[in-house]
Amino acid sequence: MMFTDKFKKQYLFEQPAGGSASVQAVPSDRWLLVSVIMLMIAGLLAVYSSIAYFAETRFTTAGALIGTHATKLAISLLVMVIVSKIDYHVIARVSRFALILSWFFLVIVSIYGTEVFGARRALNLGAFSFQPSSLATVSLLVYVAYLVSRKQNYIRDFKRAFLPILVWVLITCALIGMEDFSSAALLLVMCLLIMFVGRVSALHLSALFVVAVIGAGGILMQSAERQSRVTNYVDQILHIESNQFQLTSGYQAQQAHIAVAQGGLLGVGIGKSTQRDFLPAPYNDYIYAIITEEYGLLGAGVVMLLYVVILFRGIAVIAKRAPDTLGMLLAVGCTLGVTMFAFVNAGVATGLLPVTGLPMPFISYGGTSMLFSGVLIGILLRISKYKEESYG
């Protein structure tokens, strides 16, 4: 089906020499959608296996909490469908206002937020809680893609292109980093990758990366807790001794390693995890360790494969055939926004990365992260509906 001339004019790529281009409607990417639904099912099973102790502390039952989790999954799926019906150009234009709104909430949460494990990351709003960092993450990824696409004619100019984008990135990452350093660092990396794909000067990006590394080092030196995470991570790589198994900052990683080791190739069986009683937040930050323990390396590998499918479809298929530069950059940003969180979460659970406390999208228990992960996938599904074709 061919669209009207008005639609073509709005969505065309730059015309190739000796030919022309058109935009064709195609079905939404089914590989992407199926992968997300399978992750939701896997998450439902994993949360049910790991949430028993959490239910006891909340004076409720695992069944009640799993029902809440299923409801949040349904809402995320509904949001995904709704967003997939909205023109991504409209979403990109309103992302600036969403980002400014997230700044306000980030300031509020740093003052009045609920403190968990020494950090204020959520606002309690009666029956539910809200994490502004998730809103800020999605808004910034979309807005950076929008700015880069709008500045393509002078994208390598420092003052006109790089500096204005940098201001939005640094302010957002600084506000998130006050209470959640790992999320801020990961968000900065994702923004750098979007800018790199968008042809921002490699010299400017390299300078920003060096400054970010120096700044991150300074922030780490100011926090004893963050320093201990890094030192424990290094110690666990160099040697593991029995006297390290104690209630210190390295306790979480140690218990996660035990869960992974017990899982072996095929796992101990569904609902038979023992480490769920020792791991803090086994239903969230360390849920991949529970998956590995119960389903083994084989089951955990299938979960990772689903994220790899999302990564491949988002970058190699949806971004490649996007009808315009904005669509391409948004596809890259949305794909990274889902998969990088998953890979970091898995890396922490398996000991490949230091402890960070990031959720695994569509798997971990929680509402805000799942909701905005649904927004990212919804945008990807919308972009996948259009295919740019050249002829001539």
71 part of a folded domain = yes
pLDDT in tens, 174-214: 899 887 888 899 999 999 999 999 999 999 999 888 888 87
Q: How confident is the model at residue 245 (pLDDT cuts 50, 70, 90)?
A: very low
| Enclosing domain of residue 363 | 21-238+248-391
The C-alpha angle 369, 373, 375, rounded to 5 degrees, equals 120
Q: Is residue 8 part of a domain?
A: no
Q: What is the pLDDT of residues 42-93, one digit of tens each?
A: 999 888 888 766 666 665 676 777 888 889 999 999 999 999 999 999 999 9
DSSP 184-218: HHHHHHHHHHHHHHTT--HHHHHHHHHHHHHHHHH
Residue type present at position 308? V
Residue 382's identity, in one-letter code, is R
Asked if the structure places residue 2 within a domain, the reply is no
Whether 97 is covered by a domain: the verdict is yes
Structural domains of the chain, count: 1
Q: Judge whether 322 lies within some domain.
A: yes
**Per-residue pLDDT tens over the stretch 157-168:** 999 999 999 999
Whether 286 is in a domain gets the answer yes
Whole-angstrom distance, CA of residue 176 vs CA of residue 181 = 7
13 lies in some domain: no
For the cut 70, the answer to whether the pLDDT of residue 8 exceeds it is: no
Please give the mean pLDDT across all residues of the chain: 81
- What does DSSP assign to residue 2? B
Query: Left if phi > 0, otherwise alpha if psi is -120 to 50, otherwise beta: which for 177?
Result: alpha
Helical axes 88-112 vs 132-150, angle rounded to 10°: 140
The pLDDT value given to residue 273: 78
Lowest average pLDDT, out of 72-81, 257-266, 375-384, goes to 257-266
Tell whether 220 is covered by a domain: yes
Higher pLDDT, 9 or 296: 296
Which residues have a Cβ under 8 Å from the Cβ of 309 and sit 6 or more positions away?
A: 31, 32, 35
